[in-house]
Amino acid sequence: MNTSQTPELLTEIVEGKPIPVDKLAYFRRRLRLQLHELVLRTFDQQETLTKAELARRIGRAPEVVNRLLGGPGNWTLDTVSDLLIGMATLPFFDTKRVSQLLTAQNEQIHSTALAALSVIPDESRQVDANNAPTIPAPRGMGQAQQGGGYFTVRP
Amino acid sequence: MSIQDEINRLVQEGSLFRLDQSMPGLAARRTIFASIGVRALAIGPWGNVEERVRGRELQADFDHFIDGNKLNLRSQNSFEETAFMARLAPPSDEVWEIRSIDPKPSLRVFGSFVERDIFVALTWARRKDLGGRRDPRWKVAISNFKEAWERNFNSYKPMSGHYPNEYLTNT
């Protein structure tokens, strides 16, 4: 692969070298933030579920659920699972190869790469590379407001 | 002249930096302009491994903002500890903080909005150096930010609007 355009953050990952501890820290933090955003988005999509009801469903105190939804600071994988299952959403994830992401970048199909980052195929995000992408916005948001993400979950 | 012209001038002279999205293939839906000090905190050069790791984590927080992801803002008049961003009191000062809470040391990056989704970050502090909510060191930190703002932007004021939707999309 031509790595001349490889972002500094991905250099060792692409070259198969030991990944420095600071870069591992970066991706851990990104994962935590992305999972938090995913949980917040899922909660916003609930028609009637309140934080108190979510707390009751997963056996936590309401103030604890309030804090967990506030930020991902002390989350564990179990926290993510409990919160999503409490919202009747299966926490099944898939991954995306860095090489695919870089290929998309090198082809300069910026918006196509954005759509491809949803790792479980989602027909609503499929993009025809020959046409401008159509990325439906979540309820209540314009397209420009939608965040790029690494994950989708199965409802 | 406008505040946008001022930003362009500061970027050209190298005293303000537009932070790019670190990951390829992601659209930048928001913008952060950072002072030399804030940029160095997140992008380096760093003095040791601890600074390097903490800087990368802050860089991840900045990228999360730039991505346009949904942000948890602290409600006005609340003291929620886990929010990603907050507008500090008094609201009329228009001083905001990005709260890079974990891991320790928790960091606070101070800035103001010039337009919706365009944040100018000029100063920062370690949370432990600010003390409790009523500690005078908070006022010093806010005052330091306001001085930095005036140094850079003279008479131009930060944007002011309805909290939070006029400042940020996707909150």
Render B57-79 in DSSP notation, one character per residue: HHHHHHHHHHHT----BPPTT--
Give which of B100, B25, B35, B70 is closest to A97, Cα–Cα. Answer: B25
Strands (E), B1-139: 16-18, 31-35, 85-87, 96-100, 107-115, 118-126
Q: B104: which DSSP letter? A: S
Q: Test B72 with A40 for CB contact under 8 angstroms.
A: yes
**Mean pLDDT of the B79-99 span:** 89
Say how far apart CA A29 and CA B64 lie, in whole Å: 10
- Other C-beta atoms lying within 10 Å of the C-beta of residue A137: 12
Say how far apart CA A142 and CA B89 lie, in whole Å: 30
pLDDT score of A74 more than 90: no
**Mean pLDDT of the B66-89 span:** 85
Bridge partners, A128 (sequence order): none
Give which of B81, B122, B114 is closest to B99, Cα–Cα. Answer: B81
Q: Write down the mean pLDDT value for chain A.
A: 74
| Predicted structure pTM score | 0.81
C-alpha distances out from residue B122 to B53, B74, B126, Å: 21, 21, 14
Q: What is the pLDDT of residues A112-143, one digit of tens each?
A: 444 444 433 333 333 333 443 333 333 333 33
The pLDDT value recorded for residue A36 is 94
User: Hey, what are A95's tokens?
Assistant: 């991954």
pLDDT score of A5 more than 50: yes
Give which of B106, B160, B148 is closest to B128, Cα–Cα. Answer: B106
pLDDT score of A111 more than 70: no
Contact A80, A89 (CB under 8 A): no
B28 touches chain A (CB under 8 A): no
- From A26, A67, A71, residue closest to B56, measured CB to CB: A26
Chain A residue with CA closest to B24: the answer is A105
ipTM rounded to 2 decimals: 0.91
Say how far apart CA B36 and CA B11 lie, in whole Å: 10
Residue numbers of A between 85 and 114 with CB closer than 8 Å to B: 101-102, 104-105, 110-111, 113-114
The pLDDT value recorded for residue A4 is 54
| Residue B32 backbone dihedrals phi, psi, to 5 degrees | -120, 125
User: Hey, what are B12's tokens?
Assistant: 């050209």
Angle CA A39–A63–A82, to nearest 5: 40
Give which of A45, A57, A149, A41 is closest to A95, Cα–Cα. Answer: A149
Q: Write down the mean pLDDT value for chain B.
A: 92
